[in-house]
Amino acid sequence: MDIPRLVIAAAHSSSGKTTLATGLMAWLTRQGYSVQGFKVGPDYIDPAYHQLVTGRPGCNLDEWFLGADGVKEAFVRACRGADIAIVEGVMGLFDGYGSQGTGSTASIAKILNAPVLVVLDVRSLARTAAALVRGLQVFDPDLHLAGVIVNRVGSPRHAAMVKQAIEENCALPVLAVLPSWSDLALPERHLGLKPVFEQMEQVKQLVDTLVDRLSGALDADRLWQIARTAVPVSGVRPAIWGDRDAGAKTFRLGVVYDEAFNFYYWDGLDYLATLGAELVFCRALDGRLPADLDGLYIGGGFPEMFASRLATNRQFMADLKEYYSRGLPVYAECGGLMYLCRELVDLDGEGHCMAGLIPARCIMQKRRAALGYVTAHTTRPTLLGPAGTVLKGHEFHYSTLQYDGTPPSPALEMQQAFATATSSGGYAAGNLFASYLHLHWAANPRAALNFSRACRQYARREKKGGGGEHVMA
């Protein structure tokens, strides 16, 4: 695929990648271009910022989930109808896993034949900034490092020194020299950035200001010249989605999507759509659960921040219990798992009544409970397939479960990727499956197919006036 593209990278985290990538997408969109945003890795918060400013779903490019061929396929699918693609990197440019940095920003850039712009935080640096850029240049000669955006300069003299050092010693253009702009910092929380859904108006105002400032600081002509140097993505083949496209809808899948639950991989939802899912978005914070669903998906999010509001919407919980008792397939991950517990204890130690489908208390902690990629297998038949079904997921949570009485047998045996640590977890009972794992459905095609079959089976039973317990397809 031949589309102009840029990867926005950095030497380390907290350099301003998300702010600048989002601002750049907004600036291009307001120039009249259709912009497709991407995020390297499993992050589900940053893509929501991209979606807000571009009007297109933000997508993830994760080599561990999708492999190199899957990354290419996902990129090409998402870019249909776009004029330019902007890929926001993750951590430092070469930070990935394994000795070769698989899954890093640099690895994704090479898979996509994309030029890279480095955002360089130059606080307390002058000529040394050029040494850092030069190191990034020579570390991997196959990477197309094409330019630099200098961030957080302290004065005009400082800006001139850094710009001159980089351009003279690295032969790279400096596309912008930006001050600290501390008033434009995006607010953070324990899982990273505060989700855009909780501060929509604030983020819109921030983006307006950011676009105005970038307009006077960015070398737009050079940026487009660099973006157009991207070599067409080669070797694209139907590795995951195949030749399927979202066609005839065979079952209605409810997706809880509100301020409390919004951590979804949009390519994963797209994959379910190719299997026949008609996505029906609903809210647990207010309103009712739609009555004509054939399955329900409750994703991750921050239910602990909205626990009191969730607890007061007893009607949604009553609907959920009723349809669950009739056999509605219910799949929940992380925040969804927390919501399905009997009680959620927030960071202040206050308990809130939740849906009660899982006989446990979910207790928030000050320290992180888990983080990282996980390979798991089911210990018995579940919504996702027979015993031994392999799952690839990602964990990131600050809560733990305390079951009522004797803990049930775990539904999953898990091993942390690139480590020897193992654990068990997950809850499965009849037509319910819940765990802390965030699944990318396109990376778990067998589980996605089994879940889809369970939803279609329920739909057929309902049309016949059946109901009752879930039976594995």
CA gyration radius for the chain?
A: 23
Structure-token pair, residue 260: 């409390």
Buried b (16+ CB within 10 A) or exposed e, 243-260: eeebeeeebbbbbbbbbb
What number of other Cβ atoms are within 10 A of residue 84's Cβ?
23
Helix (H) or strand (E) holding 118: strand 116-121
**What amino acid occupies position 185?**
A
Phi, psi of 211 (to 5 degrees): -60, -45
Tokens 């990648």 correspond to what residue?
17
Q: What share of the chain is helix, strand, coil (3-state, %, to 5)?
A: 35, 25, 40
Q: Is 334 marked active-site?
A: yes
Give, as one character, the DSSP assignment of residue 45: S
Q: Give the Cα separation of 51 and 323 in Å (integer).
A: 32
3-state class of 375 per DSSP? strand
Q: Give the Cα separation of 72 and 63 in Å (integer).
A: 10
Tokens 């750049």 correspond to what residue?
24
From the list 59, 170, 282, 334, the catalytic residue is 334
Active site residues: 334
